[in-house]
A and B are shown apart, each in its own frame.
Chain A
Amino acid sequence: MTQILDRPEARHLASTPPSGNGARRLRGKIRKEIPALVILAGLAVLVIMPMILVLVAAMSTDVPRPGNAGTGSFTWENLAFLTTPEATKGLWNSLMIGFGASVIALVVGALLAFICSRTDAPLRKFIFIIGMAPVFVPALVGALAWSMLASPNAGFANILLKDLGLDLTINIYSMGGLIFVLGLFYAPYVFMLVHSSLSMMNADLEEAAAVHGASLPRMFRTVTMPLAMPALLGSGILVFALSMENFPVAAVLGNPAGIDTLPTYIFRLMASAPAQANAAAGIAILLTAGLVIITVAQQWIVNRRKFTTMTGKGARPRQIPLRAWRWPATLFALVYFALSVALPMLALLLAATQDSPYLTSMSQLFDGGLTLDRIVEVASAPDFLTSLTNSVIVAVVAALAGTTLNFASSYIRYRTTSRLGGLLEQISTAPLAIPSIVLGMGILWTWLSLPMPVYGTLVILMIACMSVALPQGYRSISSSMLQLHSDLEDSAVMLGAKRSRAIVNVTVPLMRVGIVSTVLLLLMLAMRELSASLFLFTSNTRILSILVYDKFENGQTTTAAAISVLFVIVIAALAITAQLLGSRDRQNKSLNEASDSGKNSL
């Protein structure tokens, strides 16, 4: 486990030359800060300006629009929207969803992590993959799949129950359904953090408890659990925040149930004609404020972790024999895999290939026959091909540019004497507390205000993807940066290399696995991105997630399913390609590092 440690002693860049001339010294100081200032300017445009514009919009009569950058005059009226029943109900629903989903994610994620890291259950390597796998399924696709699986009356599961003569209906269009699906898809975040905490735990403490006669359950209760508590609480609150700001799942499963959340309310205000963008900005402030409180609490809890589980020793913690529970434990993991990946993918595949989209009995699936026609048709349709190309270009550029930017911020923070390093870190991690949908609105207004023709091109989508994933990218690259001692790079400089050459020829190659895993992580996040892009795309710059959403909104569910199947295949193909490209010689390392990245981004 890597910790973001306190700032190391400044010791690398050449120290300021002694001089009596104050002005020269000041100039030298400023010159030294130029790289940091450049990065700071970049981050300001990515994060700070969008948030300022949302704040301004929340207190104005107008928002910047294409062709008109003005924001009208000052008003408090938009904040009146905060007291509407929609807003208060939305806030209540969002809180309920956040709470419920984090409880499910905690139970499932922590149990999986425990089984995988500390027991003798069979197939533990596979359980590790199971714990991570849902990360690769976009939330929108997961929600669509579950609506096909368990919508009342027409869901495959309900048809099957009816076929079996059981008077039982699963209704995924409900608060319970929403919470279940979000909990399921966010459990990997808990899994990653708790898994690392459990497997890196100082074995001495447990040994001491055992030596002094504590039974296994007692040792677990009095030593292991308290040690893992910060990881549990930290990841639980993270899932709370992610679920609260989630748009796609609430849109697909909440809307038919009449459950409005703050993100769906924001979207409705933005998507009405005429758009009520200032009111949306008012609601956005409420949602962001809620998330800031939650994230600050999360950071506080996660940061406490270093006092409890830090260890320099490599001793493996005790393995707990499960005896008769060995297979049931593995079965639990397999059931989770079925619910989070296998069944949803099967539902999508059936929906995409069934002859008629409307079934009354599962046997009709085979009467009408399954056909790949729809998938083939979708795969060759111009809108799919354009969106696919757009998605891949956006994701690759955002991942590479994002990694470069994060590398620079992290380098300045941990390897130089720059006074701005801490600030760079704070801004880079700030988007954790900003809902993606809000960041998307802010980015839209930022680039409509700036005199650069970015709106309507893929560049604005790349910017959005970079901005949303800054915290993950920064934490991921920083963990790798901290693992590598600076002596090697310094040796190159001592031997006459320029600093830039030393970075390119020494540090970057040594950090290769960390860099590749960061690129991979950002690639995945960019491919999945929907919420921030909702207001940024134009007809020529639709990305896959938007295409799926549009098809869903137009009632073309079977087409949406077919695109989703291809979408998941593309994501898997990209992940495997990045994996192969990045670490031909250390094939499994990168995925493990990616999990490490995810974990460190929490």
Chain B
Amino acid sequence: MKFQKIALPGIALMLTASLAACGGSSESGGGVLSASAAVDGSNGLVIDGETVADKDTYETAKTQTLSLYSSYQEAAEQAYLEAFTADTGIKVELMRLVPARLSERVLSEQGAGKLTADVIRTSDYDIVDNFSKSGVWKPYVVPGTEDLDEVVIQDGNFSRVLNVVQTFGYNTQLVKPEEAPTSWADLADEKWKGKLGISQGLSGGSVAALNRFVATELDEGYWDKVAALEPTVYDGAGEKLTALARGEVAIATTGSASVNVAVTEDKAPMEYVVPEEGLVTFDYYLGTTAASKNVEAAKVFMNYNFSKRGQSLFSELGDYGVRADVPTPTALGRALPSLDSGKVWRMPLSDAAKQAEDAEVWQKAFGR
């Protein structure tokens, strides 16, 4: 009895302490990202021992509000930006659009001299290449990234900043883990007829990479088989993810980071799969604009993205950074396969030119 009397308040105390700890870690990144970074802003910006910005740049940057146009999944981008603002004190205004609409917006605003973005993050090589042709970018090379493999592109017009995972996930209320498909080949199984959600296969980095993966790594006629399952075709990945979480489709192509954020922050009933043939990854690019008015904040943001801290945050979200010295990504507490495991497929940059012919195959299969 005596023990119980002591034990109950003790348990209550421990519970309170653990709850408080949860609250602390959720302060930055809404629970997905860790709050822990050693930030020293006394002489420039130094995070976890790594210099991100010199004093002059950082002092000016702190007075600015950065404008970021991004097509990175909104919840993940918001978590990332919360961590960035918590670490640096620099506020960010986010304009999130799917890649195709982002491209149209940027080109129109650039043409009219109305581009307000300081920094743009998007996938799809064709899109960023078009930005180059339209004079959107102002070259900037983050110190220390010159030697990384295929990171600084077109002399620093833009840089590859991370590789986003494209795989598939399922709604856990509708599909039991043991019944879930384990490979891309399984996904085309008859039993998923009418239960599958995919993205329209015409534009966007995820689509370009998945189409290339299908063309080179899977059996011929794969898209025809998937088309025969009469999947729901979504225009945007965000819309598709919501439909999966709400159980409007049972299985859908999606990213490990998207699932990770939705489950952790919103308790979405979802799981992702590491398919036997491997995860597909596609490049995400980041660059500063010629129209930027907040040059210093843009520079700090660029540097932060390539810092060990910034790159580790991508790992925590569930995507692959471009630096080799950051941990392997984790999503829902599980580590994803390492880059050299043979289970992570990245679309080669040189294959960007094949996007149109791949899209045609997709279009033919789906008749749209």
Contact = CB atoms under 8 A, between A and B. Distances in A.
Contact of B266 (A65, A356, A448, A553): A356
A271 B104 contact: yes
A270 B96 CA distance: 18
A550 B70 CA distance: 13
A257 to B, nearest CB: 8
Interface in A128-161: 151-154
A274 interface: yes
A539 B367 contact: no
B247 A273 contact: no
A124 B240 CA distance: 44
A555 B99 contact: no
A360 B267 CA distance: 12
Given A356-B267, A455-B114, A539-B95, A554 B246 contact: no
A357 B111 CA distance: 40
A272 B203 contact: yes
A526 to B, nearest CB: 22
B126 interface: yes
Nearest to B91: A382
B234 A255 contact: yes
Interface residues of B, number: 59
Contact of A539 (B109, B113, B236, B237): B109
Interface in B185-216: 200, 202-204
A540 B116 contact: yes
Interface string B99-133: 11101110111111110110000001011001000
Contact of A358 (B113, B232, B236, B246): B246
B246 A153 contact: yes
A153 B97 contact: no
A557 interface: yes
A273 B111 contact: no
B36 interface: no
A357 B93 contact: no
A337 interface: no
Given A86-B368, A555-B240, A272 B246 contact: no
A interface, size bucket: 35 or more
B248 interface: yes
A85 B368 CA distance: 8
B238 A555 contact: yes
A372 B79 CA distance: 21
B232 A455 contact: no
A378 to B, nearest CB: 13
A86 B268 CA distance: 34
Contact of A555 (B95, B127, B174, B241): B241
A556 B127 CA distance: 24
B40 interface: no
B239 interface: yes
Nearest to A152: B248
Nearest to A86: B368
Interface string A347-385: 000000000111010000000000000000000001100
Nearest to A270: B104
Nearest to A360: B173
A85 B200 CA distance: 16
Nearest to B238: A555
B69 interface: yes
A268 B242 contact: no
B235 interface: yes
A256 B234 contact: yes
Interface in B228-276: 230, 232-243, 245-248, 266-269
A456 to B, nearest CB: 3
Nearest to A257: B232
Closest 8 CB pairs of A and B: A555-B238, A66-B111, A67-B111, A456-B114, A154-B246, A66-B112, A153-B247, A273-B100
Given A66-B113, A553-B97, 9 more contacts: A65-B107, A66-B108, A67-B113, A255-B235, A268-B235, A273-B203, A357-B266, A453-B113, A555-B73
27 contacts: A66-B112, A68-B111, A85-B368, A86-B368, A153-B246, A154-B246, A173-B248, A258-B233, A272-B202, A357-B246, A357-B268, A358-B267, A455-B108, A455-B112, A456-B109, A538-B108, A539-B67, A539-B95, A539-B117, A552-B239, A553-B97, A553-B238, A553-B239, A554-B239, A555-B236, A556-B75, A556-B238
